[in-house]
Structure 1
Amino acid sequence: MTFKSQTPEPDNPPSPCINVCKLDNSTGLCEGCFRTLDEIAAWSGYSAAEKRQVLDRLEERCERVLDGT
């Protein structure tokens, strides 16, 4: 019997989830990881490249939310 490793592959980014799972109605983003509900639902099916694309957008989203823009 084999078990899938919980450690992400070097090429496969880990989920940005920090277990603060609450969607902000005004932004449509999770207050913990700043992903959309669609991104959260699709994360496990994304390729490593798609995950990196989402992660690249999160910093900008976080800054916008914190700036209130």
Structure 2
Amino acid sequence: MACKIRPEPESPCVNICRMDTANQYCVGCWRTLDEIRQWSTLSSEERAQILSELDARVPV
């Protein structure tokens, strides 16, 4: 039986690294500083969870 290799969720960084002081999110990728700092050590599931929350963080 072949093993399925799932690709790691890519970082949402778009190289616009500036924090919005009102909501404490980066205005480029909408992650918190802690999420940005921890990204490389998070599991695939944790990364996917963060990615699923990003759209809700973007101001309308």
For the aligned pair, the TM-score class normalised by the smaller chain equals: 0.7 to 0.9
> Identity rate of aligned residues, in percent?
43
CA RMSD of aligned residues (A): 1.2
- Given the two structures, how large is their TM-score scaled by the length of structure 2? 0.87
For the pair 1:31 / 2:27, whether they are aligned, the reply is yes
- Mapped pair 1:15 → 2:11: yes
TM superposition outliers: structure 1 runs of 4+ over 6 Å: none
Q: Deviations over 1:5-43 (max 9, x none)?
A: xxxx74310000000000000010000000000000000
| SS of aligned partner of 1:13 | coil
Answering whether residue 55 of structure 2 is matched by residue 59 of structure 1, we say: yes
User: Mind listing any 5+ residue stretches in structure 1 that lack a counterpart?
Assistant: 1-8
- Give TM-score, length-normalised by structure 1: 0.76
Structure 2 gaps, min length 5: none
